[in-house]
Amino acid sequence: MNEDVRTTQQVWFITGSSRGFGRALVTAVLDAGDLVVATARRPEALAKELAEYGHRVLALPLDVTSPDAARAAVDAALARFGRIDVLVNNAGYANVSPVETSDDDDFRAQFETNFWGVYNVTKAALPTLRRQGSGTVVQFSSVGGRVGGSPGIASYQAAKFAVDGFSRVLAAEAAPFGVQVMVVEPSGFATDWAGSSMTVHPVPDAYDETVGAMNRRVRQGTSGGAGDPERAAAIIVRTVRRGRVPGHLLLGVNAVTMALDYSRRQLAEAGAWEQVSRSADFVEPYPVDLPPQAEHAIP
């Protein structure tokens, strides 16, 4: 493989390290020879599991919804390793309910972790990355954060869209400091995301064909996701260690298929409405004919 792989040891700061992608990524980073700050709400079991790696790993408690806790964890990482080269915002979860019947507190709590957690930890680490003049920020989103429209998880997908918008601005602001940003967009993987981490609230009959159908097909199926978390973690490590990262990294066959299909439909719709859209400016011809009605609009 013709890859420009970094040979120097890097320090990774990873949130949500106790299971799923976070746990797989911790192992992949350590196996690659790098150092890890593995954070979780309850890191005790994680510390025992990783004891074989000795001083190369530091397990820390972190509630990402707390800005003070984020700053404390970053300070502890710096006290141990002196720098942070790769920040991975992985912590997140989704509960299921239709928008109409969602519990407001639950909806907000999900957003607190899935978006504000990313904001808190990123903001806590940015001064260090800026002073270093280097670093990579890896933001875990999902393919749903690009294409949306998954019935029942509005809070989760809204947060992932927000993470993407936030990360695009962050990339523009941090680039002069030598800091890169990569948004990871997986499809279904064999993690606990749709298992014990997910609460499925009662679904009214009126939403059975949307939220209910999605639950039966995806969230309550027995086959699990098609993606291998260990492979995904290894891909992320290889990509980051190469040096220059893509702005977005799709992971999984479904992620690629859904993203390409969505982009093609977006381009087709923008093209169909191009003259109408342009006509809103003073200097453009107005009025113009509306395009023929499409059978299905882009959601």
Dump pLDDT digits (tens) for 81-126: 999 999 999 999 999 999 999 999 999 999 999 999 999 999 999 9
User: Does residue 181 have a pLDDT over 50?
Assistant: yes
20 in the Ramachandran plot: left (φ > 0), alpha (ψ -120 to 50) or beta? Answer: left
Q: Is 160 part of the annotated catalytic residue set?
A: yes
What are the Cα distances from residue 66, in Å, to 15, 76, 135? 13, 15, 23
For residue 17, the one-letter residue type is S
Q: What is the mean pLDDT of residues 207-225?
A: 75
Q: Which of 183, 177, 186 is CA-nearest to residue 245?
A: 183
Q: What is the pLDDT of residue 36?
A: 98
Q: What is the pLDDT of residue 110?
A: 97
Per annotation, catalytic residue among 18, 97, 102, 141: 141
Q: What is the mean pLDDT of residues 255-272?
A: 97
Q: What is the mean pLDDT of residues 195-215?
A: 86
Q: Residue 81 — φ and ψ, nearest 5°?
A: -110, -15
Q: What is the pLDDT of residue 224?
A: 55
Contact 183, 167 (CB under 8 A): yes
Pairing of strands 179-186, 11-14: unpaired
CA–CA separation, 162 and 167 (whole Å)? 8
Q: Is 223 part of the annotated catalytic residue set?
A: no
Percent pLDDT > 90 in the chain is 81
When the pLDDT of each residue in the chain is averaged and rounded to a whole number, the result is 92
Per annotation, catalytic residue among 160, 167, 187, 207: 160
Assign 1 a pLDDT band (cuts: 50, 70, 90): very low
CB half-sphere exposure, 247, CA atoms < 13 A: 13
What are the Cα distances from residue 131, in Å, to 11, 83, 84, 158, 298? 15, 10, 11, 32, 43
Q: Which of 16, 239, 252, 285 is CA-nearest to residue 142?
A: 252
User: Does residue 68 have a pLDDT over 60?
Assistant: yes
How does pLDDT run across 12-29, given as a tens digit for each residue? 999 999 988 999 999 999
How does pLDDT run across 165-178, given as a tens digit for each residue? 999 999 999 999 99
Q: Which of 248, 67, 234 is CA-nearest to residue 160?
A: 248
Fold topology of 11-251: Rossmann fold (3.40.50)
Q: What is the pLDDT of residue 47?
A: 84
Question: 0.85 cut: is pTM over it?
Answer: yes
Contact 19, 92 (CB under 8 A): no
Assign 223 a pLDDT band (cuts: 50, 70, 90): low
How does pLDDT run across 22-60, given as a tens digit for each residue? 999 999 999 999 999 999 988 987 888 899 999 999 999
Q: What is the mean pLDDT of residues 73-86?
A: 98
